[in-house]
Copies of this chain bind each other. A is one copy, B any other.
Amino acid sequence: MTAITKLFGTDLPIIQAPMAGSQLSAMAIAVSNAGGLGSLPCAMLAPEGIGKELAAIQAGTKKPYNVNFFCHVPPAPDTVREAAWRAKLSPYYEEFGIDADKIPTGPGRMPFSKEAADVLEAFKPAVVSFHFGLPEKALLARVRSWGSKIVSSATTVEEARWLEAQGVDAIIAQGNEAGGHRGVFLGEDISTQPGTFALLPQVVKAVKVPVIAAGGIADAKGVAAAMALGASAAQAGTAYLLCPESTASAVHRAALKGPKAAETALTNLFTGRPARGIVNRFMREMGPMNPAAPAFPLGTAAVAPLRAAAEKNGSGDFSPLWSGQNATGCREVPAAQVTKDLSS
């Protein structure tokens, strides 16, 4: 028993990190049924999709689960910036025979909204977690009103203190090792983002709410180390990506199993916000952090056709190959097994 297992009502202090684009309800169900906290990422789902996946979870498990939302403020479309970015990518469009003028724009990622809350209310999940801070107060109050525990990620001690002041029930200390999007929401400087070994104990010292460790945790030793540093639970994402319940693409799986899986970097090329993925051709050639990339989440549009074309050829050169810095926990075993092994 830890403060987190008590708070969430789980058997194990293991949280499966929500991974938008790489998993849906099947993963959440498997992890929750195994005694961990399974998570449904909603950033790439419209309200109907959220409802469908939540219904599947409700049918698939009686255990607590987590529903995760991004809570960015969508930027105004910027046609000048978008055009300049597409001009930079034009050699790639030519290489793949893509008509740059026909690439649709799109939101890429959805923030938490009134519509999402309407869907969520019918399910009243045990835990609702947010990324990029917290939604506006009225929306957050709705979530709180039906009893869901509220969690968000901190990438600095300052963000942890801010979240605690807003009344969150627990804080994820997201070390720089973590795969996917950095939860950073106060400031934009990624050069000062601390690793788990530095961030976790400082967050534990700084706040009174229980702290969940994330970033670089791949096995039971990693969980034990996180606990030694004061965590009440550990969150793992990358370790679940090769499970049969994962929807990760073939090129993503191949990269995770490949010899270069340890070579990851933060990149804003795929969405506009820094997220950690395995270095590929696009990241190498454009620089992983490119100041010309569109504002989040508008970066997805320009790269989407390149990704599709490359993946058709079995190449992950233009795909976001999200991964933390420690992919050694990735195994092609059921998510229940990963969950049990993490807690053993």
Residues of chain A touching chain B, judged by Cβ–Cβ distance below 8 Å, are: 156-157, 175-177, 189, 191-192, 194-199, 201-202, 205, 215-219, 221-222, 224-226, 228-230, 262-266, 279, 288-289, 324-326, 328
Q: A176-B176, A221-B201 are in contact. Are A194 and B325 (CB under 8 A)?
A: yes
Q: From B192, B198, B225, B324, give the contact of A228 (CB < 8 A).
A: B225
Q: How far is the CA of A218 from the CA of B262 in the complex (A)?
A: 26
- CB of A237 to closest CB in B, whole Å: 13
Q: Are A262 and B219 in contact (CB under 8 A)?
A: no
- CB of A309 to closest CB in B, whole Å: 26
- CB of A276 to closest CB in B, whole Å: 10
Q: From B156, B157, B226, give the contact of A225 (CB < 8 A).
A: B226
Q: From B197, B228, B279, B324, give the contact of A196 (CB < 8 A).
A: B197
Residue of B nearest to A189 (CB): B265
Q: Are A202 and B262 in contact (CB under 8 A)?
A: yes
Q: How far is the CA of A289 from the CA of B287 in the complex (A)?
A: 14
Q: How many copies does the complex hold?
A: 2
Residues of the B chain whose Cβ atoms lie less than 8 Å from the Cβ of A177:
194-195, 197-198
Residues of the B chain whose Cβ atoms lie less than 8 Å from the Cβ of A264:
192, 194
Residues of the B chain whose Cβ atoms lie less than 8 Å from the Cβ of A230:
221
Q: How far is the CA of A176 from the CA of B221 in the complex (A)?
A: 20
Q: From B157, B191, B205, B217, give the contact of A197 (CB < 8 A).
A: B217
Q: How far is the CA of A197 from the CA of B229 in the complex (A)?
A: 11
Seed contacts A195-B196, A225-B225; 15 additional CB < 8 Å A-B pairs: A157-B262, A175-B197, A176-B176, A191-B288, A192-B265, A192-B279, A195-B195, A196-B197, A196-B216, A197-B197, A197-B215, A198-B325, A221-B228, A225-B228, A228-B228
Residue of B nearest to A205 (CB): B328
Q: Are B324 and A198 in contact (CB under 8 A)?
A: yes
